[in-house]
Amino acid sequence: MMKQNQKGVSLTGFLVLLAVVGFALFIGMKLFPMYQEYWGVQRALKNLANSSSQSVAEQGGVKTALIRSMRVGYVTSVEPQHIKIERGSNGTVVSIDYEVRKPLVYNLDVVGKFSAKETISSNSAE
């Protein structure tokens, strides 16, 4: 008589798999808001570059317009000191470098370092 082997996942194997998937989902829930906020920063920079008039760039209203746009997009981790504005011959370069620290478990934190840059050309109003 031939011995038949059972096929499938045991209860222990299923629980281990469930724990691994649960931990991955937990990490994803902690990381996704950080990246969603970063995408909001990129969107605000692109909107500023596409819709800014030359007068905004000349009058120094770039930082104010950018902060207003980010507040509308629920970006809360970027402070005014994270925004650097450099004027050059090709236009105004706006760069944002910031860090987000979120608690993970107990005394462990997850840290995200983000950097975004956009050039506002001096002839964007033309």
pLDDT tens per residue across span 74-124: 999 999 999 999 988 888 899 999 999 999 989 999 999 999 999 887 664
Angle at 83 between CA 80 and CA 87, to 5 degrees: 130
Q: Is residue 67 part of a domain?
A: yes
Residue 61 DSSP one-character state: -
- pLDDT for the residue 17: 96
Answer whether residue 111 is part of any domain: yes
Report the candidate in 45, 97, 39 with the shortest Cα–Cα distance to residue 69.
45
Residue 92 lies in domain:
12-121
What total of structural domains would you count in the chain? 1
Look at residue 35 in the predicted model and tell me its pLDDT. Answer: 96
Q: Is residue 6 part of a domain?
A: no
Q: Residue 64 corresponds to which tokens in the numbers above? A: 């104010």
The pLDDT value given to residue 124? 46
